[in-house]
Amino acid sequence: MSANARALVDLNAGTIVATVTIDAPVERVYRALASQEVTKWWGADGSYRTTRWEADTRVGGAWRAEGTSVDRGTFSVYGEFLEVDPPHKLSLSWNHDWDDCPPTTVTYLLDAVDGGTKVTVHHTGFGTNKTSCQGHANGWEAVLQWLSNYVRVNR
């Protein structure tokens, strides 16, 4: 029942809403988002790979992901957890080292649906940085598809 990932972007508001439906239980999808499993699915040959993930998954806890990119070399993404409600909600600040965009907020909502989990990502706080907002919208479609493909195979 997995569906293709879709992202809608509102460049004027600086917000993204991305969704995918995954043929797996909510608990399984949450675990893939909030654990070392991130290094197994976040990335693809020809673009970038997440190679390290550290997280203190509690409100106020820090998280950090590092990896390699074919066009940027190494990169890091980091922040802190703002809301943690397993297995239905995970909200975190999002900072990255490849442009001057101010910190943004990513919120994952996981809802049980017939036969699986609907994942909705709200990525907010881009303000007037339309280039970064559009780039992240394109990225979320790929990321959610990678997540879906991984969880479907690695139940």
Residue 100 structural domain:
6-47+83-153
pLDDT tens digit sequence for 13-42: 999 999 999 999 999 999 999 999 999 999
Q: Can you give the CATH number for the domain in which 98 is found?
A: 3.30.530.20
Q: From CA 131, how far away is CA 31, in angstroms rounded? A: 31
Q: Within a domain: residue 67?
A: no
Structure tokens at 101: 């965009």
Rg of the chain on CA atoms, in Å: 15
Domain-located, residue 69: no
Specify if 78 maps to a domain. Answer: no
What's the number of domains the chain is made of? 1
- pLDDT, residue 125, reads 96
Nearest to 4 by CA among 153, 154, 140, 155: 140
Is 1 among the domain residues? no
Measured CA to CA, the distance from residue 65 to residue 128 in angstroms comes to 26
Which stretches of the chain drop beneath a pLDDT of 50?
Answer: 1
Strands (E), 1-153: 6-10, 15-22, 43-44, 48-55, 62-69, 73-85, 89-96, 104-113, 116-124
